[in-house]
């Protein structure tokens, strides 16, 4: 089994309630550090599991069991140059050269803030390109896809029993 790192941003239970942390612990979130930011509950998981899909699906179910609503998963799929460098283990200068087409061709175009000083890329697109150029492993591509898909289906309000099945299908398809 491998340990996976990710965060769930949630809302719902009153953080000032006496049983707040116990609710999450008893629901199976004993492998998460809980904090609060801007009125939201942040659960930073370090979850041991057979796969990344299973890790995030089980955490999703555990957070719901605690009475909270999952708002989204992080790390987010929209990334800037610094995020790309940090997540890939490469320097920001190297990533900048890829973006400009000076080191290799075909780096994905930004998907947001295209005309600004700090454009954003889709991490899934970037991981696919980097994997094609032997810079990262296929597991990183799959994890990026799963987080993006988890956020898409979370916004759609899919029930947690279907959530896990959908993520497992994506993981199986990628294998």
> Is the bond preceding residue 22 a cis peptide, omega within 30 degrees?
no
Give percent of the chain above pLDDT 70: 96
Question: What is the per-residue DSSP string for 42-78?
Answer: EEEEEEEES-HHHHHHHHHHHHHHTT-EEEEEES-SE
Q: What is the pLDDT of residue 167?
A: 84
pLDDT (0 to 100) of residue 93: 95
Distance between CA atoms of 147 and 58, rounded to whole angstroms? 14
Task: Give the whole-angstrom CA distance, residue 43 versus residue 73.
Answer: 10
Residue 168: the pLDDT is 83
Q: How confident is the model at residue 160 (pLDDT cuts 50, 70, 90)?
A: low
pTM: 0.85
- Structural domain spans, the chain: 2-74+141-174, 78-136
Confidence check: pLDDT of 71 > 80: yes
Q: What is the mean pLDDT of the chain?
A: 91
- Mean pLDDT for the stretch of residues 7-19: 88
Residue 98 — very low, low, confident or very high, per pLDDT cuts 50/70/90? very high
- Sort 103 into a burial class: Cβ within 10 Å, 0-12 / 13-18 / 19+: middle
113-155 confidence digits (pLDDT tens): 888 888 999 999 999 999 999 999 999 999 999 999 899 888 8
What's the pLDDT at 96?
Answer: 93
Confidence of residue 91 (pLDDT cuts 50, 70, 90): very high
**pLDDT for 170:** 82
Task: Indicate the CATH number for domain 2-74+141-174.
Answer: 3.30.70.980
């Amino acid at each position: 089994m491998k340990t996976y790192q990710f965060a769930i941003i949630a809302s719902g239970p009153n953080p000032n309630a006496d049983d707040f942390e116990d609710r999450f612990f008893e629901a199976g979130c004993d492998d998460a550090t809980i904090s609060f930011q801007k009125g939201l509950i942040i659960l930073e998981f370090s979850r041991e599991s057979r796969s990344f899909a299973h890790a995030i699906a089980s955490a999703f179910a555990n957070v719901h069991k605690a009475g909270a609503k999952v708002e989204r998963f992080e790390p987010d799929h929209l990334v800037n140059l610094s995020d790309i460098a940090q997540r890939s283990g490469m320097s920001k200068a190297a990533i900048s050269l890829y973006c400009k087409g000076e080191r290799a061709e075909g780096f994905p175009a930004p998907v947001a803030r295209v005309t600004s000083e700090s454009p954003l890329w889709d991490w899934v697109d970037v991981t696919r390109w980097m994997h094609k150029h032997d810079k990262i492993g296929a597991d990183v591509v799959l994890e990026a896809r799963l987080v993006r898909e988890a956020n898409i289906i979370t916004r759609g309000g899919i029930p947690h029993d279907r959530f896990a099945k959908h993520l497992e299908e994506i993981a199986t398809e990628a294998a």
